[in-house]
Amino acid sequence: MARTRATIMDIARELGLSKTTVSSALGGSGRISEEKRALIRETADRLGYVANRAARSLRVSRVGTIGLYIPPIARSLAFYMDFAFGVTEGAAAADYDVTLFARGLTPQRAFHVDGVIAIDPSPGEPLVAALLDDGIPTVSVGRYTGPGEERVLGTLEAHHAELQTKVLDHLLSRGRTRPALLAVDDAISSSWAVDTLNTYVEWCRRHGIEPLVHEVEGNATPRDLVSAITSAVETGRADALVCGAQGHAAQSQIVLEGRGLTVGRDLDIASFAGAAALETGNPLISSIDLAPREYGAAATELLDAVVRDPDAGPVHRWFDGASVQLAG
């Protein structure tokens, strides 16, 4: 395995000095004795510190553009479009333009950006790994795991498990003891998709409930979605449908009502990623509003912070803008 690259923070902790002192010594500036400067440089060599040339050049002269990476399989989903608008609004406020990475990784590809936001990257996503390898300041919305993960400078997450548990607890309070999860399938293997499944399964375990999981593509065809709904309700005898992908709850309502069932009486519907108006504004559907525009703006704010101080070390922030609407 490749050795993790030491940071200025690692050197500072090793010597009990401030980050500013270490940075100044390595950069040849500051009022530092030659003895201390030599000690800092010797420690940097011993720990394997390599100067981040890309980050250093950004402090001197910026491109004025940030990049946005959205997994190709997810680009047709409304949540990501709204998130991108939020990134754009945040970027304009911070005096950046935005480039959407539309192409995959190619040999000798150069990244002419000051930093990048990667939302819901799959484990080991090659483009994200290449960005990190090039020393591009990167913020991951949702956790990134894979090559270079130790170089992710910022991670932004919503309180998904807490919000989802609140929805599931509400269903149980209404007497729903067989909630089925229409889970996003393995094609979108983001930390959100994995955590959503784990949260549901663990909640079922705590309450002695048999998990009923039906995998559905995020952009499933109407036929595939009808098949999953039918399997959950008729075969699995579900008394509630919990939908992972945005829009699936609203479509489920149409399907169920078309079969003569009354939502709220015969069974309940919930969405873990509510679509505006169709789900978050629907009094018959319990939903989580992930506030994608605000989420995107918060990601840009975090990226701007790490671009301005890339040697500060990894930063984790929680996004507190998401909310729950409970039906019934």
Length of the chain: 328
Per the listing, tokens 């609004």 go with 89
Q: What is the pLDDT of residue 62?
A: 76
List own/partner pairs for 25-32 with CB under 8 A and 24 or more apart. 26/51
Q: What is the pLDDT of residue 60?
A: 47
Q: What is the pLDDT of residue 27?
A: 66
Q: Please name each of the domains of the chain with its CATH number.
A: 8-51 (no CATH), 58-157+293-319 (3.40.50.2300), 160-289 (3.40.50.2300)
Q: What is the pLDDT of residue 187?
A: 61
Q: What is the pLDDT of residue 274?
A: 93
Phi, psi dihedrals of residue 292, rounded to the nearest 5°: -60, -35
* Gap between the terminal Cα atoms of the chain: 53
Q: What is the pLDDT of residue 58?
A: 46
CB 303, CB 115: distance < 8 Å: yes
Number of Cβ within 10 Å of residue 258's Cβ equals: 9
Nearest CA to 263 among 242, 233, 240? 240
Please identify every stretch of the chain with a pLDDT value under 70, giving residue numbers as ranges. Answer: 1-5, 20, 24, 27-31, 50-61, 108, 186-188
- CA separation for the pair 103, 72 (Å, rounded): 9
- CA separation for the pair 17, 93 (Å, rounded): 35
- CA separation for the pair 202, 14 (Å, rounded): 40
- CA separation for the pair 192, 288 (Å, rounded): 13
Q: What is the pLDDT of residue 106?
A: 73
